[in-house]
A and B are shown apart, each in its own frame.
Chain A
């Protein structure tokens, strides 16, 4: 039984009451960097200038979820198994397709059957490095992320009890969970542990190292001339480094860069349904639910009006494989992205965020020449190395837990 639904539906029928119910559970979490409220640490960083791009190191491994080859292997099986979800059709790999950059190649991700998602599917490649996951940073680890992905109504739409019950009836899983976690039966929290362990091995390191990292480690031949010129622009005139910086190519902070709403919400009934559902699910007030016409991003967590339309600075490694771009997939090519920045956060039709008052002062017309735009795009391509491919594992089969003799004996003993 779905607890979130149960609690919700206990709330009185009135729409207003429904909203009160959602709101009460929507915790106020970390506060964003309001212009007025910048922390001392951030001020210091600003003064010193942004951290320069640096090669990607090892993925951090949390002490309570150590990596072992057996755990990673189990996590891989689970990642590719659609039975980790509501109707056994939609697993992690369904929306994070290896052939589509471990993401989904449409503006909005495909959804659970009968739905469409409202955001672009992010790649899981390198996700292990991010202490803030999702476009608006709402999950703090792979473990928490996986749990909300498998359960979300337009994602996996699975419930703990049915997913646990399924795994218990798949002997291969029973055996592997016992070996890895020591439990007699698979436990749902360990599913998230195992999947996270697998994700922590899915990085652009080793054989998948990207040209930029090779370059930053000293191999000056890894970038061509065009790309080195692009790098200079990235770090200078184009100002990308202000946000896309350091080892992770992101400051992990939230900014409104002017991305316009996706027009599909004006034309597609299915997308309109999910749009309104998400306002509920993310704890909007009734007033907000009625008024919202774009994704309010980090606002849903902070509830500060200056956070409307802010998203986590997107990391840039592996993006050659993950088009379309931005939280709502409005740009299909890196050229379009660069043009958008060059116009100062405005698309080719002159559209921008519905919250221009929150737009980052760092986003302004750049005055790049055609050559400079090409150089910048060429440099963005240096953030991607070889494509990471993997054969999909076979799904281990179900088997009955009891045999006929055991059942007959139990019947006799009644």
Chain B
């Protein structure tokens, strides 16, 4: 336990330390604009795609990454709270994975600040996500001739759990926004007005800035708790296992998601979450770390009231006094940040997987 918590904490303290101080100066924010292009190795990404949709990558072979990160839902979970590995629930919404390769910190609380390789490892091995012993995973993959060939073609040689954690991130690089009205410069008048409000009166830009529309820092916006985390023991058990493992004091009595507090253990960080990207929101409802807000109009209403109720809420949130039209314009702008769905076979592995593992022929003669 010690190993991960300390690395997590120091890494993130370095990445996120001065977040609030910086954004408080209302000066220039990184411009919202197009995302840079990423260089992609096609053979590796193709392999990563097959792995992403393959249920054999979970302990009991019942869930794949796509069970929770659903292509049709912007690679987020369709439920407010993500499903869990069988026998478990979850306590957070599964984040959208579109543009995830552009980020520098991951998870709603920002506990991973290294790379998508570590993120993939966490998803594969965590008890309530995929519960995979990666040594078994590696041997399963070696048993599938299609994978053996694909690993070879990708330049990885013999399949290994290390290259799985490289190929899946390569695939995630392909999940990027395409053709949003915003990127094409084809926004409606209403959306254009919404963008002005976003940068001005509504003050969204203070936290949602840069090409991803996030400062990747943690803030408390006062989103109410999702009581289903605690009322459904399947979810609560995952929450307890998580907070126990993270070394959160008094975890058995905790009745709220501690968020960024997990990383610093400072009271002032209780209930802070990392600002999410605002791209591709059209597909990824419901919103927020716990899915508590159902529609974009509801999100705008939430901010219009100055956010939720929390004594540690960010000072940047104030009632906005937006008119009905202004609220509609803001929603129109948020919608203009969504492009095409990534659901064709360019992004989704649609071929069937073998129902059984073929035996290796001449087993006694060939080396393992």
Contacts and interface: CB of A to CB of B under 8 A. Distances in A.
B353 interface: no
B311 A414 contact: yes
B230 A401 contact: yes
Given A114-B56, A266-B363, A411-B224, A1 B87 contact: no
Contacts of A407: 225, 227, 230-231, 255
A267 B125 contact: no
A326 to B, nearest CB: 19
B22 interface: no
Contact of A414 (B58, B140, B244, B256): B256
Contacts of B358: 269
Nearest to B156: A13
Interface in A357-398: 398
Given A270-B357, A410-B256, A114 B62 contact: yes
A184 to B, nearest CB: 8
A165 B133 contact: no
A85 B191 CA distance: 52
A15 B85 CA distance: 28
Interface stretch (B45-53, B159-167, B201-209, B296-304): B159-167
B4 interface: yes
Contacts of B134: 5, 8-9
B323 interface: no
A14 B59 contact: no
B127 A279 contact: no
Contact of A157 (B133, B240, B368): B133
Interface stretch (A50-58, A86-94, A223-231, A243-251): A86-94
Nearest to B86: A87
B1 interface: yes
* A contact residues, range: 35 or more
Contacts of A13: 160-163, 165-166
A165 B240 contact: yes
B121 interface: yes
A114 B56 CA distance: 8
B252 interface: yes
Contacts of B163: 13
B8 to A, nearest CB: 11
Given A86-B60, A290-B367, A273 B140 contact: yes
B261 to A, nearest CB: 13
Nearest to A407: B227
A168 B241 CA distance: 11
Interface residues of B, number: 69
A165 B246 CA distance: 14
Contacts of B160: 13-15, 18
A272 B363 contact: yes
Nearest to A279: B368
A269 B367 CA distance: 15
A164 interface: yes
A48 interface: no
Contacts, number: 208
A411 B134 CA distance: 39
B161 to A, nearest CB: 6
B367 to A, nearest CB: 4
A5, A12, A18, A293: which has the most chain B beta carbons within 10 Å?
A5
Contacts of A7: 3
A411 B290 CA distance: 14
Interface string A189-210: 0000000000000000000000
Contacts of A112: 59-60
B60, B85, B143, B367: which has the most chain A beta carbons within 10 Å?
B60
A398 B87 CA distance: 12
Contacts of A5: 125, 132-135
B71 interface: no
B142 interface: yes
Contact of A1 (B4, B222, B255, B360): B4
B131 interface: yes
Contacts of A38: none
Given A86-B60, A114-B62, A404 B136 contact: no
Contacts of A6: 3-4, 121, 125
A268 B359 contact: yes
Interface of B: 1, 3-4, 56, 58-62, 85-88, 121-122, 125-128, 131-136, 139-140, 142-143, 158, 160-163, 165-166, 222, 224-225, 227, 230-234, 236-238, 240-241, 244-245, 252, 255-256, 271, 309-312, 356-360, 363-364, 367-368
Q: Which 10 A-B pairs have the closest CB atoms?
A: A13-B162, A269-B357, A88-B87, A114-B61, A153-B133, A165-B240, A410-B255, A113-B60, A398-B233, A87-B87
26 contacts: A5-B134, A8-B134, A9-B121, A83-B87, A86-B87, A87-B85, A87-B88, A88-B87, A113-B59, A114-B62, A154-B136, A157-B59, A159-B127, A161-B244, A169-B236, A266-B363, A266-B364, A269-B143, A274-B139, A277-B139, A279-B368, A291-B367, A291-B368, A293-B364, A398-B234, A406-B255
